[in-house]
Amino acid sequence: MKLSYRAIRFACWLWFRVLHRHKVYGHSYLPKGPAIIASSHASFYDPSLLTISTKRELHYLARETLFRNSFFGWLIRSLNAHPLKSKAGNSSTVKTAVGVLDQGHLLLVFPEGKRSWKGDILPLQPGTAMIASLSGYPVIPAYLPGSFQVWPRHNSIPKLWGHTACVFGTPLYWEDYQELNRKEALRTMTADLEEAIIDLKQWYEKGAIGQPP
């Protein structure tokens, strides 16, 4: 783990552990090799919450425009953000994602495509299934309780109270959809991933008893 990533990760961990009593569930679902972490997305806090919830370095994709500010660009590069050109199209995005995975990394994606305004789970886009289909690596569903409550999209600054958590779920594998034609397989895997994230949300809201589904 590189020094800049370690330092920023520790600062984030201290912030969320002290102010928000952050907890992690289902960490055993994360493999030792490459994998796609597909998370709910309702807050600017989400990348930081996932960074402190895994023992390995995370990599993720970010809009090229986010790198224009020199300090913020340095910050997200230190957290392994990879710039995406807005005009490059989906094929370039998928190619970049597969390249990151082929290097042995954990790749964070937000399959909803944008932050929720109300904290609910939005319909998932097919990009995550596309990456899984071309890479063959597992998809780990994740849900982030509390992130919306402490920093909702309509607030310019976060709250200094409220609990946060990260819940990982049972991996999905592209190979389990091989009997379907490609279009149907992408649609079905996307639907299954959305259902898996919803199941994690319901599991947490019912008391987080036992192992996450």
Phi, psi of 192 (to 5 degrees): -65, -40
List the beta bridge partners of residue 81.
Answer: 60
Residue 61's φ and ψ, nearest 5 degrees, are -105, 140
Tens-digit pLDDT profile for residues 172-197? 999 999 999 999 999 999 999 999 99
Residues 66 and 116: their CA atoms lie apart, in Å, by 19
Q: What is the pTM of this model?
A: 0.92
From 127, 167, 191, select the one nearest 40 (Cα to Cα).
167
Tens-place pLDDT, residues 84-97? 775 545 778 889 99
**Please, what are the domains in the chain?**
3-205 (3.40.1130.10)
